[in-house]
Chains A and B, each alone.
Chain A
Amino acid sequence: ELKVEQNPLFLSMQEGKNYTIYCNYSTTSDRLYWYRQDPGKSLESLFVLLSNGAVKQEGRLMASLDTKARLSTLHITAAVHDLSATYFCAVEVQGGSEKLVFGKGMKLTVNP
């Protein structure tokens, strides 16, 4: 059974700082997603990573995927308050099922 673990689960950081968060998963997968969720809101898609070594960047966020290590990272550069949210990684069950298994999420607070 596919399991997805994120760490840390809570992160408080100052504006302008950098940090990397991690997502590990237990079995082979075709796709990994990163989503953002603001309080009381739905999930906003940030990145889809499809292959080993994939790297995607959008603004201050950069995501990468190492399928051999079953590890994805989300790197935050020069954090700003607007990045405060909960970030989920989700892994698609292999076989084209489109069933996603989510991690517990990481709640990020960026302090001025």
Chain B
Amino acid sequence: DAGVTQSPTHLIKTRGQQVTLRCSPKSGHDTVSWYQQALGQGPQFIFQYYEEEERQRGNFPDRFSGHQFPNYSSELNVNALLLGDSALYLCASSLVRMKNIQYFGAGTRLSVL
């Protein structure tokens, strides 16, 4: 049973560029949440997708957007990258109707130069 998978594992971009990160949830899960973890900090909630719609959002600017596909996989897009966007981006999946635990992927390390 595959867990939560994220791609790519590492990414280097320059300021002003755009980036897309991908996440496949754990088999059987229908909800995907995205978190940003800056170095030395706890993860911060970006947004959550369920039934292909953004269900809720944290305190992140509109430069951060996302999408969920019919197969429950998800993308996180960040436009106009800033140096401060450098972080580990974590995807977590769960099954909403079961209110079960969230499982995290290995993350994508984004470096903005």
Within 8 A of B (CB), among A57-112: 88, 90, 96-105
- Total A-B pairs in contact (CB under 8 Å)? 54
- Inside 8 A of A105's CB, which chain B residues have their CB? 41-42
- Inside 8 A of A96's CB, which chain B residues have their CB? 99
If the complex has contacts A98-B94, A99-B45, A102-B43, are A43 and B104 also in contact, measured as CB distance less than 8 A? Answer: yes
Q: Name the residue of chain B whose CB is nearest to the CB of A35.
A: B104
Residue B96 contacts which of A4, A43, A98 (CB distance < 8 angstroms)?
A: A98
Which DSSP category, helix, strand, loop or mixed, fits chain A's interface? strand
> Which size class do B's interface residues fall under?
20 to 34
Residue B90 contacts which of A43, A97, A103 (CB distance < 8 angstroms)?
A: A43
Q: Counting chain B CB atoms within 10 Å of each CB, which of A4, A103, A105 scores highest?
A: A105
Contact A100 B45 (CB under 8 A): yes
Within 8 A of A (CB), among B37-65: 41-45, 48, 56, 58
